[in-house]
A and B are shown apart, each in its own frame.
Chain A
């Protein structure tokens, strides 16, 4: 991915995340006062399920690009930087995919 496209996608993902994050925090702050069955019931709603999954995919995509930027600025050893970038990429794939599986099959 070239740097200009990365920069643009980083901004677009940021804009998408604004309403999603406000919704997510509001929901989870509310869920902290609710019990197990109410929480399960909450995620039975397909809209909330889809919003959570989208948030995790877009959020980790945004985080991955940001981490690449931060590593570029603060890690001066190229080998260490490569390893850090691979770890960021792995995390940004594993967590959203696991969330997708959890929400569709387990909860």
Chain B
């Protein structure tokens, strides 16, 4: 290879998995999913700007099993990315680099992302 000789880092298939590497790649993937979610919400607004008939059809799709599955997945992806992002910000400020701390914060991120998803759905759908 000529030209760019920068090391081609994130190797996903080479290293043994740790919670740190798993969360690192999940942060990236969830970020991309969030972009797709934002595009879905953009389509939501687009359909809303058409007329009532189209919107009712859109709601029917959103409220189908498949629609809810996607929406809950998007909610988790956002929750995870936000919490994992906060973990990254703590690192940027110089905190939490010890292996034990990083592992614990990783587990906290996973558990809290599930809790945040549940809270958003329970209160958002008016189930409580």
Interface of A is mostly: helix
CA distance A33 to B124 in the complex (A): 9
Q: Please give the residue numbers on chain A whose beta carbons come within 8 Å of chain B beta carbons, in ascending order.
A: 11, 14-15, 17-18, 21-22, 24-33, 35-37, 39-40, 43, 52, 56, 59-60, 63, 66-67, 70, 73-74, 76, 78, 95, 98-99, 102-103, 106-107
CA distance A25 to B72 in the complex (A): 10
B9 neighbours in A (Cβ, 8 Å): 73
Which of A29, A40, A73, A78 counts the most chain B CB atoms within 10 A?
A: A29
Q: Any chain A CB within 8 A of the CB of B104?
A: no
A35 neighbours in B (Cβ, 8 Å): 56, 59
CA distance A67 to B85 in the complex (A): 15
The interface bits of chain B over 35-46 (1 if a CB of A lies within 8 angstroms of the residue's CB, else 0) are 100110110111
| Cross-chain contact of A24 among B31, B41, B46 (Cβ < 8 A) | B41
B125 in contact with A36 (CB, 8 Å): no
CA distance A42 to B52 in the complex (A): 15
A76 in contact with B120 (CB, 8 Å): no
| Cross-chain contact of B45 among A32, A33, A59, A107 (Cβ < 8 A) | A107
Nearest chain-A residue to B81 (Cβ)?
A21
A30 in contact with B78 (CB, 8 Å): no
